[in-house]
Structure 1
């Protein structure tokens, strides 16, 4: 879970104050975002099923599957798709992971 949170933080840091147009013209940032999404995807595959069941608002299959798309079909992934994913979709995942991590840490303190 911490890998997911860290990757999301890095993706957000790469995109801070950046417009879609600027992102589309910056292949280096696109690569960084792609790598972050790949890490998120792979890490999501290792989360326990009960955690995923507690967070049904997250499309877990799509989260896991986007990594395959990036690895095998990367030349066809539009920058706008990565942009939307980073801007609109990662915040829900980050919120769920932070909540689960806090609950896990709380249980560990008892």
Structure 2
């Protein structure tokens, strides 16, 4: 698989997971999220998948597109996947509800540029 193909697939995956977060987690609201352990676990899984998609991006691509905080997304994935401490679910909510939609728009813009 070429680097270009890997980038395109990873960006599409990122957007798919972002859309899933919006539909499955954020659309139900913070009160539902706070009271439903399954939603919080789904949030962890989605952030893990987003981090995996970002980790597949070549270093030169992420360096050329610094408007997206790729490193912090990978760090969030590592925190969710490897932390033995309790997860800060308010932090995850903020990432999904406030930051992820902003980053998804940036990724859509990058993808649009790549497809022209």
Q: Give the TM-score, by structure 1 length.
A: 0.83
Which stretches of structure 1, 4 residues or more, deviate above 4 A after TM superposition? none
Whole-Å separation in 2 of the counterparts to 1:38 and 1:52: 18
Deviation track 1:52-81 (CA, whole Å, cap 9, x = no partner) reads 234323222111111111111265112211
Distance apart, 1:16 and its partner CA: 4.2
Q: Does 1:43 align with 2:53?
A: yes
C-alpha separation in 2, matches of 1:34 and 1:82: 8
Q: Give, in whole Å, the separation in 2 of the partners of 1:41 and 1:99.
A: 19
Counterpart of 1:92?
Answer: 102
Aligned to 1:14: 24
| Distance of aligned partners of 1:57 and 1:100 in 2 relative to their CA distance in 1, 3 Å threshold | closer
Structure-2 change in CA distance of 1:3 and 1:37 (3 Å): same
Write out aligned runs for 1:59-78 (5 A). 59-73=69-83, 76-78=86-88
Task: Give TM-score, length-normalised by structure 2.
Answer: 0.80
Aligned residues: 106
**Deviations 1:10-61 (CA, angstroms, capped at 9, x unpaired):** 0000134433222111111111111111111011112233432343232221
Question: Matched residue of 1:76: which SS?
Answer: coil
